[in-house]
């Protein structure tokens, strides 16, 4: 499943190829994605020039003067810029053509992704309006997180994975950031001091930035590449390493389940 760094990498890879380009045609082969592709998408986009490809959380926003296509890649979705006229394979659900030469293609075997259309402010859309701040902006800092965790008796890992608290911290990056910050994932959110929240917010920014930087080497995969773009492998310190030695202290990494998601931590480095 693409997480925030993958979505940001996709945005950076694709934006230069679609921004400033005029949409000549939209072909929808399959409307039954997570939510039906609205019939307003084709007339909304066709003839419009893409002004900006931006991102909010894990949503990509393909904006033009007449409105915005809201795209989510779900579990298995991918976007690629290809030569127009390239045959559609199975699961190639939507093509957005830019003249006779280029197109943006959405491929999604499991169809948990979506492509919606809005003529209103996309940030006010029901899917986006209640999202928490972006983790890499100044709005997300220790005092914000500390304040959001007051009165919350859930675990800190569950709190930072809540998109109403902060967007884009998925299971992998939550585990990694808690390790970097030395915070045990089961610690009750409202018991964490401002100092430790400072370490944690810094760790979240650090692991996400490092993943985006690692993704930079895969940017060309989104344009004219053979096959589908893969998600980059990351240097993970705890995630998926149960039973292996901690890279910092040598103790065995342990695994537990929090909110039905696998969590990995070092019992020595991450204090309760």
Could you tell me the smallest distance in angstroms from the CB atom of residue 251 to Zn ion? 5
- 248 near Zn ion, judged by CB under 5 A: yes
Task: Please work out the total of residues on this chain that contact Zn ion, with binding judged by CB under 5 A.
Answer: 6
Cβ–Cβ under 8 Å, residues 58 and 3:
yes
29 is catalytic: no
Please enumerate in sequence order all residues whose Cβ is within 8 A of that of 265, keeping only pairs 6 or more positions apart, or say none.
175, 178, 179, 184, 185, 238, 253, 254, 256
Only segment of 137-145, 160-168, 222-230, 245-253 that touches Zn ion (CB under 5 A): 245-253
Distance of CA 68 to the CA centre of its chain: 18
Q: Backbone phi, then psi, for 133, in 5-degree steps?
A: -65, 160
Q: Catalytic residue, from 11, 58, 196, 241: name it.
A: 58
Binding Zn ion (rule: CB under 5 A), the pick from 12, 31, 205, 268 is: 268
Question: Hey, how many other C-beta atoms are within 10 angstroms of the C-beta on 11?
Answer: 18
Binding Zn ion (rule: CB under 5 A), the pick from 78, 246, 258, 263 is: 246
Give the Cα separation of 166 and 3 in Å (integer).
13
58 is catalytic: yes
Could you tell me the smallest distance in angstroms from the CB atom of residue 247 to Zn ion? 8
- 186 near Zn ion, judged by CB under 5 A: no
Residue nearest to Zn ion (CB): 246
Give the Cα separation of 42 and 27 in Å (integer).
8
Alpha helices in the chain (DSSP H): 4-18, 41-45, 142-149, 156-160, 171-181, 194-215
Q: Catalytic residue, from 133, 228, 261, 267: name it.
A: 261
Q: Catalytic residue, from 3, 8, 134, 176: name it.
A: 3
Residue positions annotated with a catalytic role: 2-3, 58, 261
Q: Which residues make up the interface to Zn ion (CB under 5 A)?
A: 246, 248-249, 266, 268-269
């Amino acid at each position: 499943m693409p997480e925030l760094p993958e979505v940001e990498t996709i945005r950076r890879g694709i934006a230069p190829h679609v921004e400033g380009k005029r949409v000549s045609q939209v072909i929808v082969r399959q409307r039954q994605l997570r939510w039906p592709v609205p019939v307003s998408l084709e007339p909304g986009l066709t003839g419009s020039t893409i002004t900006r490809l931006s991102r909010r959380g894990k949503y990509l926003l393909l904006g033009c003067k007449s409105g915005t296509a809201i795209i989510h890649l779900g579990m298995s979705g991918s976007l690629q810029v290809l030569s127009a006229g390239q045959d559609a394979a199975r699961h190639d659900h939507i093509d957005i053509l830019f003249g006779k030469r280029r197109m943006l293609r959405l491929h999604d075997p499991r169809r948990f992704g979506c492509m919606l259309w809005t003529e209103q402010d996309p940030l006010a859309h029901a899917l986006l309006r209640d999202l928490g701040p972006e983790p890499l902006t100044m709005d997300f800092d220790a005092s914000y997180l500390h304040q959001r965790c007051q009165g919350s008796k859930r675990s800190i890992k569950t709190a930072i994975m809540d998109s109403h608290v902060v967007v884009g911290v998925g299971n992998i990056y939550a585990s990694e950031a808690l390790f970097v910050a030395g915070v045990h994932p089961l610690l009750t959110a409202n018991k964490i001091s401002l100092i430790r929240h400072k370490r944690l917010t810094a760790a979240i920014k650090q692991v996400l930035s490092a993943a985006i930087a690692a993704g930079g080497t895969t940017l060309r995969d989104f344009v004219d590449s053979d096959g589908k773009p893969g998600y980059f492998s990351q240097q993970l310190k705890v995630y998926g390493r149960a039973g292996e030695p901690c890279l910092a202290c040598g103790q065995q990494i342990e695994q537990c389940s929090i909110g039905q998601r696998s969590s990995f931590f070092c019992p020595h480095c991450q204090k309760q």
